[in-house]
Structure formats: C-alpha cells, structure tokens
Amino acid sequence: MRKLFSLITGIFICSFLSAQGQQDFVPLKELFKKDFLVGVAVNGRTIADASGRMVIENFNTITCENEMKPQSLLYFPMQRPAGAPQGQPGQAGQPQRPQGALPGQPQGGQPGVPPQGGQPGQGMGGFQRAPLKLDTINGLVYNWASADRIADFARSNNLKVRGHTLVWHSQTPAAFFTDDKGNQLTKEQLYARLKDYMTVVMNRYRDVVFCWDVVNEALADKEGEIYRTASRWYQICGKDYIAEAFRIARSVNPNVKLIYNDYDLVNPAKLERAMTMLTELKKAGVPIDGVGMQAHWSNDITAEMLQNAITRFSSLGLEVQITELDVTTYTSYHGEGAKNQVQQTQPYSQEVEEKLAESYKRFFEVLHRNAGKVTSVTFWGLHDGASWLNGFPVRGRSDYPLLFDREMKPKKAYYSVKSVYIK
C-alpha cells in the first residue's frame, strides 16, 4: 500500500507541475525561504490522500484545522462547547461527535464540521476515521487519535507544526469548566485544570510544535469593550486568564514560541483593542512572543492597513505571524458585508481572477518588506476545493480564496505572488 501511495502521489506531482510548466512553478517554501516560514492548515483527509504530497512539496509548517483544539483532544461525548448556542449544523454550538470521528472538513463545509456520509467508522467518501486513542490523565480523558496522526505526518516529513490552540472560548467542552457533579469550577480550580491540560498537551507534541496559539480570540468585536466578556474563561477568571495561560505555557516549555491569535487585526478599532491588551501584558512581564493575525481578508484590505498593524505590533517587540490566510472573492466573509451578499455563486470570471491576484500581490509586497518582523505565513486551506469559505457564510456557495484551484493547479494569484520574489 505504501509503495502504491508513493506511486500515485509521484504521478500527481508530475501532472501538477506540468500543468503550467515545471520551469514556471516554484514550491512555496522555496519562494519564501529568505523571508519567513510558510505553512498550511491540514486535517486527516488532507494528509491521507494525494494532496499530502502537495503539502510536503510546498510547505515547511502545518497547522491542524481542528485536531489540536480542546474540543477535539478532550473526550466528552455529546458535549457542547462552553457558552455556545444551540447553533446550526457544523457550528460550534452543535453537539460534539465522539472523537473517533475525524474532525476534518469536507469540501464545501465549515471549520469543525465532521465528514458526512460513508459507512460506519468512515468519513466522507469512505475515508477511514482515526480509531479512538483514549488516555485518562488527572481526571481528563484525552483522545489522541486525530492529532497524533497529523503530528506523525509532520515528523515523517520534516515539517514543523503550529500548535492551534490551547485556550479558546468557542471549542472548549462545557464540562471542562465544571466538576464531576456539574458545579462550576472556581478560578483557582480552573487554573489548576488548565495547567494540567496544557502540561499534558504541550509535552506530548513538544518535539514537533515550534509555536503555540496560547490564547485565541479573547478580544471583543463590540465598540467600547476590550475583552470578550461572554467567554466562560472571562466570566470565571476575568481578563487575568490570558496572562495566566501564557505564564503556564512558558513554565511548561521555555523554548516554544507563545502567540496570541485573533481575527480582524487590520481593522483600526480591533487593532487598538489588541494594542491595549498587548501593551498591558508586556508591561506586566507576561511571556508572550508574538501576535497571530488571522488573515481571512477580502479585496478591500489595503496595504496601509496591513503595514500599520505590523508596525504597531512590532513596536512592542512582538513578532508577527500571518496565521489563517485566505482572500474571499466576495465582499466579506462575515459581518454586515456578508449579510448583504448575493446568495448565488459568482463565476470565477477574469475580473474576479484579476482582483484576487492583485490583492495577493499587494499583501505579499507588504509581507516581503517586513521580513524579519513577519516570521511565518500560514494559508488556511490547500486549494479552493478544500476551503472553509465554500458554503460560508452562504450555504452551498463556492469561493476561490487560495493560490491553487480545485484541480490543485497554481492560479494567477500564485504567479502574482511569485512576481514579488522572482523578477
């Protein structure tokens, strides 16, 4: 089987390169090697089929889409994430499947949606799910199956892993915040549980994870507020949980990079909230190394907005990582812009293709100028067919947000990025 897989993937790569001409294509890790690490978000399906070879050829880092989030690692069958609404299918408020199900992402789905269809024990298209791999430590039950599969893939192929994520309000089981009788934990009890959890998880992947998103999306979106106050973390601990998480992480591993990760940080208002929080953390001596900018952007994001964010974060002595890069070809992927979008799929016209290529070139010109301040760039998806933006925020709709098309061939956007690095 291993020989057959190698043969298939070899044929795939050959056809992939010949599509545009081998002389015209440069693997992304080679393209950016003088500037920063370049990575991609993956799931169990990505590394199991022929696209796994594409990952190996193009990237030097990978990020688990869902497999290293608390909801995937902790085995609480049929538990909802804390504070999540009853929700829609595929959203964080949906009851969690037993973790024998691959927490992957089908084509056309959203992040965190388990594969649909297939036979029992299988994911979409008959893909074999990872069997349960349970381990009870200090009262918490872990299922290592899916995360171990991706970590082993990284080890076997000399890839570094961005750990994503340790503390997040959204995909943390509600049971994490309660004792065995269902009573809410005190602040001190929750910190003790968090230390147990972080110690176990960080040490298990210590050899392969080069940085961790320690805290994810703690900032508010609402004007006049800094922190996401509806979070169970905030409700029990106040804002101090952020600093405590970083201190625990540093005590567990003095050498790993510790990152705060959030979205919309190019937005001036959100940027100011981030600067307020980060300045406070730095003044308090909290061990934070960098900021992860979730780059779910649109064509409306300007070079000035991106440069301003990089400059502001760098002024605090923090490195910048672009953690979840894709560029929607629609108005926006969330907020008011999304509400006003047409429901039908727009064709991938020449105009759409040109705008996307222009946007990617604009962003990478800024990133290239800031090499050293920007230390890594991670694409959120391997190709258009695997993007979470298919079906989000409008169900059934297609998007075209990445450098490679649905046939895994480089798009004009790829060549526009290449032009920044190779004249």
pLDDT for the residue 109: 32
pLDDT for the residue 340: 58
Contact 362, 303 (CB under 8 A): yes
pLDDT for the residue 89: 28
Write the single-letter amino acid at 55: V
Contact 125, 182 (CB under 8 A): no
H or E element that contains 189: helix 187-204
E-strand spans in 45-109? Answer: 61-64
Write the single-letter amino acid at 416: S
Cα–Cα dist 27/20, whole Å: 13
pLDDT for the residue 412: 97
pLDDT for the residue 107: 30
User: How is residue 133 written in tokens?
Assistant: 């791999």
Q: What is the largest CA-CA distance in the chain?
A: 65
CA neighbor of 335 nearest in space, from 195, 222, 234? 222
| Cα–Cα distances in angstroms (integers) from residue 389 to residues 47, 148, 298, 344, in the given order | 20, 26, 12, 14
DSSP reduced 3-state for 204:
helix
Pairing, β 160-168 against β 61-64: parallel
Per the listing, tokens 């995937």 go with 72
Active site residue 65: no
Annotated catalytic residue within 57, 65, 217, 244: 217
Angle at 397 between CA 391 and CA 398, to 5 degrees: 95
H or E element that contains 323: strand 319-327
Strand partners, 162: 63, 211
Domain annotation for the chain: domains and CATH numbers: 2-421 (3.20.20.80)
CA neighbor of 370 nearest in space, from 303, 417, 299, 298? 303
H or E element that contains 296: strand 296-297
pLDDT for the residue 133: 92
Angle at 323 between CA 322 and CA 329, to 5 degrees: 85
Contact 74, 173 (CB under 8 A): yes
Annotated catalytic residue within 57, 65, 244, 324: 324
Cis peptide before 393 (omega within 30 of 0): yes
**DSSP single-letter state for residue 360:** H
Contact 231, 172 (CB under 8 A): no
pLDDT tens-digit profile, the chain (423 residues): 444 444 444 445 445 444 444 558 999 999 999 999 999 999 999 998 878 999 999 999 999 999 999 999 999 764 545 544 433 323 333 333 333 222 223 233 333 333 322 333 333 333 466 789 999 999 999 999 999 999 999 999 999 999 999 999 999 999 999 998 999 999 999 999 999 999 999 999 999 999 999 999 999 998 899 999 999 999 999 999 999 999 999 999 999 999 999 999 999 999 999 999 999 999 999 999 999 999 999 999 999 999 999 999 999 999 999 999 999 998 766 655 565 565 567 788 999 999 999 999 999 999 999 999 999 999 999 999 999 999 888 888 899 999 999 999 999 999 999 999 997
CA neighbor of 214 nearest in space, from 187, 230, 233, 188? 233
Active site residue 324: yes
pTM for the whole thing? 0.84
Pairing, β 140-143 against β 134-137: antiparallel
